[in-house]
Amino acid sequence: EVNREPSADRRVKVYGKVTNAKTGEAINATILFTSPSSTETSDASPEVGYDVLVPSTEQYSVKIDAPGYISALEKLDIQTYEMKELEMNFKLQPLEVGATVNLRDVLFEQGKTMLLDQSYPELDLVVAFLKSNPKVKIELSGHTDNRGIPGQNLKLSQARVEKVKSYLVSKGIEKRRITGKGYGGSRPIASNDTEETRLLNRRVEFTIL
User: Regarding beta strands 138-143 and 203-208, do their DSSP bridges make them parallel or antiparallel, or are they unpaired?
Assistant: antiparallel
Residue 5 has pLDDT above 70, yes or no: no
**pLDDT (0 to 100) of residue 138:** 98
Percent of the chain whose predicted confidence (pLDDT) is above 90: 80
**pLDDT (0 to 100) of residue 60:** 94
Which residues have C-beta within 8 Å of that of residue 205, sequence separation ≥ 6? 100, 101, 102, 103, 140, 141, 143
CA-nearest of 8, 6, 33, 9 to 88 is: 33
Q: What's the mean pLDDT in 155-165?
A: 96
Q: CA-to-CA distance for 39 and 5, rounded, in angstroms?
A: 14
Residue 61 has pLDDT above 60, yes or no: yes
CB 180 within 8 A of CB 165: yes
Q: What's the mean pLDDT in 194-199?
A: 88
Phi, psi of 128 (to 5 degrees): -60, -40
Q: How many CA atoms lie within 13 A of 41 on its CB side?
A: 4
- What is the tens place of the pLDDT at every residue in 97-127? 999 999 989 988 888 999 999 999 999 999 9
**pLDDT (0 to 100) of residue 9:** 61
Q: Provide the whole-model pTM.
A: 0.83
**pLDDT (0 to 100) of residue 108:** 86
CA-nearest of 14, 19, 54, 5 to 34 is: 54
Mean pLDDT, rounded, of the chain: 92
